[in-house]
């Protein structure tokens, strides 16, 4: 089972500019979470802070009892082996071919024989559909392939926590669906805790168990997918419906005057949240069911009284035992 990641009061700034402050959330073990947010709200910074690449000024990130912000460097290095991080553009080593890139963590951290390494690497390359490209250099393949190779490299050590930085950017819609399915299948197979940072609405609607959103230097909301998908918080509605009207502007956020003008014109209100949600993706046929589903069910029922009415209605269909069966 995956490992829980607890974030407490995290605040990060670059110089005078605060990226976000006082972010508190818990990634439930083994579940898939998505962090949404307009471009430039520090989603990638958040991801890098979780793994200790960037050091926030305040707060803690607890993984397996280790504080990734203020812990000792040795503990942090040890804990990082539990993570698999898929970088936005793959971050492959330019001087190594794909096979050596994907084999790198195995060669560094295990004493496996070369034949064993070959088997694992080929298995992972097959998983992301890269068989036959193992001798190519990262400079010779497309951006989508680099991304998938980056994912394969993140997976070779069987991580307990998988972080994906915009798995969809630079991919066509079909490949994006494949990646979504791949992530769900992965979760079913290894039951790892996953956090996906994205602004892709399809991924947001179909992949996660939980969703969060960063905007205006803070975490607007974090909770089960039903809560955000049915939320009437203006910024969440605007983002999920992809409209121009709302608090999110082109550069950063809109000023009061523009917002007031929109209000007058009557265009400020986004369409009401959907009552029926798009069903979550199921693992491909032949794979075991996701263990996270049962755990999440218990968790959501436990917080039932705090859920808004709309989220409850949406959750009722989603949580029924026949989830995923054609109605």
Partner 1 sequence: MSAPVRLRDPARRRGPAGRREIPGTGALRQTGQLMTLAATTVRDTFRRPFQVRELIEQFWFVASVTILPAALVSIPFGAVIALQVGSLTQQLGAQSFTGGASVLAVIQQASPLIVALLIAGAGGSAICADLGSRKIREELDAMEVMGVSPVQRLVVPRVLATMLVAVLLNGLVSVVGTAGGYFFNVVIQHGTPGAYLSSFSSLAQLPDLYISEIKALVFGFIAGIVAAYRGLNPRGGPKGVGDAVNQSVVITFLLLFVVNVVITAIYLQLVPQKGA
Q: Which two tokens stand for residue 242?
A: 């992809």
Touching partner 1, residues 94-113 (CB under 8 A) = 94, 104-105, 108-109
Q: Which two tokens stand for residue 95?
A: 């001087």
DSSP string of 114-151, one letter each residue:
HHHHHHHHHHHHHHTT-TT-TT--GGGS-HHHHHHHHH
Q: What letter would DSSP give residue 273?
A: P
Interface with partner 1 includes 51 (CB under 8 A)? yes
Contact 164, 86 (CB under 8 A): yes
Touching partner 1, residues 1-40 (CB under 8 A) = 13-16
Segment near partner 1 (CB under 8 A), from 77-85, 192-200, 214-222, 266-274?
A: 77-85
Residues 6+ apart with CB under 8 A from 277: 205, 225, 226, 229, 230, 314, 317, 318
Interface with partner 1 includes 114 (CB under 8 A)? no
Interface with partner 1 includes 244 (CB under 8 A)? no
Interface with partner 1 includes 83 (CB under 8 A)? yes
Give the one residue of 1, 9, 24, 53 binding partner 1; rule: CB under 8 A.
53
Question: Cβ 81 to partner 1, closest distance in Å?
Answer: 4
Q: What stretches of the chain adopt beta strand conformation (E)?
A: 5-14, 17-27, 32-36, 58-63, 66-67, 83-86, 161-165, 193-197, 210-215, 218-224
Question: Cβ 286 to partner 1, closest distance in Å?
Answer: 31
Interface with partner 1 includes 54 (CB under 8 A)? yes
73 vs 325, beta carbon nearer partner 1? 73
Touching partner 1, residues 149-178 (CB under 8 A) = 153, 157
Interface with partner 1 includes 301 (CB under 8 A)? no
Residue that the structure tokens 């471009």 belong to:
39
Interface with partner 1 includes 142 (CB under 8 A)? no
Contact 229, 206 (CB under 8 A): no
Interface with partner 1 includes 304 (CB under 8 A)? no
The CA distance from 119 to 249, in Å, is 50
Interface with partner 1 includes 143 (CB under 8 A)? no
91 vs 233, beta carbon nearer partner 1? 91
| Residues that bind partner 1 in the complex, under the rule CB under 8 A | 13-16, 48, 51, 53-55, 57, 72-74, 77-78, 80-81, 83, 85, 87, 89, 91-94, 104-105, 108-109, 153, 157
């Amino acid at each position: 089972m995956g490992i829980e990641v607890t974030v407490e009061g995290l605040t990060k700034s670059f110089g005078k500019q605060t990226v976000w402050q006082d972010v508190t959330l818990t990634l439930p073990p083994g579940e898939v979470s998505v962090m949404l947010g307009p471009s430039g709200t520090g989603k990638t910074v958040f991801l890098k802070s979780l793994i200790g690449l960037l050091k926030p000024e305040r707060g803690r990130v607890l993984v397996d009892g280790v504080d990734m912000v203020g812990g000792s460097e040795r503990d942090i290095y040890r804990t990082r082996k539990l993570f698999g991080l898929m970088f936005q553009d793959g971050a492959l080593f330019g001087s190594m071919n794909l096979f050596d890139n994907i084999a790198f963590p195995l060669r560094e951290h295990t004493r496996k024989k070369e034949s064993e390494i070959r088997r694992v690497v080929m298995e992972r390359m097959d998983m992301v559909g890269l068989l036959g490209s193992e001798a190519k250099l990262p400079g010779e393949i497309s951006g989508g392939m680099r991304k998938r190779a980056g994912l394969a490299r993140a997976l070779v050590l069987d991580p307990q926590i998988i972080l994906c930085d915009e798995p969809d950017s630079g991919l066509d819609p079909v490949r994006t669906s494949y990646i979504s399915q791949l992530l769900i299948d992965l979760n079913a197979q290894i039951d790892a805790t996953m956090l996906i940072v994205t602004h892709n609405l399809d991924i947001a609607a179909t992949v996660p168990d939980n969703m969060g959103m960063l905007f205006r230097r803070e975490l607007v909301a974090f909770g089960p997918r039903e809560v955000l998908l049915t939320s009437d918080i203006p910024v969440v509605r605007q983002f999920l419906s992809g409209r121009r009207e709302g608090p999110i502007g082109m550069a950063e956020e809109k000023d009061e005057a523009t917002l007031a003008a929109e209000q007058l014109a009557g265009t400020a209100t986004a369409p009401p949240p959907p009552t029926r949600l798009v069903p979550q993706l199921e693992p491909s046929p032949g794979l075991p069911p996701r263990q996270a589903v049962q755990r999440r069910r218990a968790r959501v029922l436990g917080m039932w009284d705090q859920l808004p009415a709309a989220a409850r209605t949406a959750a009722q269909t989603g949580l029924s035992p026949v989830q995923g069966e054609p109605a």
